[in-house]
């Protein structure tokens, strides 16, 4: 029997890294469903432009996900302006592309701080607000790089594996609480984060495709949200194969080349912004758009 769809109309949703890419697309889809959306982003000016373009009472607020007081303020101001938060979408993230042996300590720390610690903070703060009411959604944007190690983005893969594990553990802890945990795992997405990536090996999806799957999984709650959904079947089948077979299949699909056949010129602007991000609000340059879409 098909599950009944839940209405999202009137729900208050807070989205991190929501000024562009997956975050913006998700905000757009949720506004169309009648949600009241707060966009949090390090680039407040861009977030304000995005919010103005979306309409529907969407608000924009400054946010550094690596700084807990900033995250707390973001959610508190969202609730002051829009009402109790029904959903927190932990979307902010960065993805430098480089062989692991050449990656600098700063890049590693930034990814852990933004991609993982930011999600941990957002998840904790969401639980604190939702558990007393016995309802809510925590949507963590991971990646299919969180289900398999991708050469060329080893640290990014590590952070996304951690987000998957975190989400699974928190889901188990919250069982019966009324809070739904969703773990979103897209393939390569056509956003700035993947600019210059050799997409001839993997068919990319659009940010709107990810947004639509998020909305669908909120209306009919499910934990594993693969984009495209068919890849969920692929990962389950591959999980049954011996490691040598899985690795050979990955090579046949070009996964080992995906992040090495990269146009670094096309990625330069993004990489420079990602490198400018800092692990705390005290160190972050005002308005620096470093926190990006997770994909």
Query: In terms of DSSP bridges, do strands 36-41 and 12-16 run parallel, antiparallel, or are they unpaired?
Result: parallel
pLDDT at 232: 80
Does 143 have pLDDT greater than 60?
Answer: yes
User: What's the first-to-final CA gap in the chain, in angstroms?
Assistant: 32
pLDDT at 49: 97
Q: What is the pTM of this model?
A: 0.86
Task: Find where tokens 């959306």 sit.
Answer: 37
Out of 137, 156, 235, 270, the active site residue is: 156
- 156 is annotated as an active-site residue: yes
Higher pLDDT, 252 or 126: 126
pLDDT at 80: 98
pLDDT at 284: 39
Give the mean model confidence (pLDDT) for residues 214-243: 88
| Tens-place pLDDT, residues 183-223 | 999 988 876 666 556 555 567 789 999 999 999 999 999 99
Rounded CA-CA distance 247/294 in Å is 25
pLDDT at 279: 45
pLDDT at 254: 65
Give the mean model confidence (pLDDT) for residues 21-29: 97
All domains of the chain, ordered by start, with CATH?
12-281 (3.40.50.720)
Higher pLDDT, 150 or 225: 225
3-state secondary structure 142-168: CCHHHCCCCCCCHHHHHHHHHHHHHHH
| Tens-place pLDDT, residues 67-105 | 999 999 999 999 999 999 999 999 999 999 999 999 999
Of the pLDDT bands very low, low, confident and very high (cuts 50, 70, 90), residue 290 is very low
pLDDT at 277: 67
Instruction: Of 16, 57, 17, 15, give the one whose Cα is nearest residue 34.
Output: 57
């Amino acid at each position: 029997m098909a599950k009944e769809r839940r209405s999202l109309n009137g729900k208050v949703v807070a989205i991190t890294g929501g000024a562009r890419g997956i975050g913006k697309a998700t905000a757009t889809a949720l506004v169309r469903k009648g949600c009241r959306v707060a966009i949090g982003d390090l680039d407040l000016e861009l977030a304000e432009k995005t919010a103005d373009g979306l309409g529907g009472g969407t608000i924009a607020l400054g946010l550094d996900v690596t700084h807990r007081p900033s995250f707390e303020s973001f959610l508190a101001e969202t609730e002051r302006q829009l009402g109790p938060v029904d959903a927190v979408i932990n979307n902010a993230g960065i993805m430098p592309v480089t062989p692991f042996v050449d990656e600098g300590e700063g890049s590693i720390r930034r990814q852990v701080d933004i991609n993982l610690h930011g999600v941990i903070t957002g998840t904790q703060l969401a639980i604190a607000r939702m558990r007393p009411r016995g309802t809510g959604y925590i949507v963590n944007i991971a990646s299919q790089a969180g289900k398999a190690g991708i050469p060329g983005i080893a640290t990014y893969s590590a952070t996304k594996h951690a987000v998957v594990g975190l989400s699974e553990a928190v889901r188990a802890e919250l069982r019966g609480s009324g809070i739904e945990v969703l773990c979103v795992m897209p393939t390569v997405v056509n956003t700035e984060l993947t600019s210059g990536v050799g997409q001839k090996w993997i068919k990319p999806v659009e940010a709107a495709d990810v947004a639509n799957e998020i909305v669908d999984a909120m209306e009919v709650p499910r934990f594993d949200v693969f984009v495209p959904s068919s890849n969920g079947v692929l990962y389950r089948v591959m999980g049954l194969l011996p490691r040598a077979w899985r690795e050979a299949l990955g090579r046949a699909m070009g996964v080992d080349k995906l992040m090495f056949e990269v146009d670094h010129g096309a990625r330069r602007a993004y990489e420079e912004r990602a490198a400018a991000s800092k692990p705390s609000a005290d160190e972050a340059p005002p308005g620096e758009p470093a926190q990006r879409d997770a994909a």
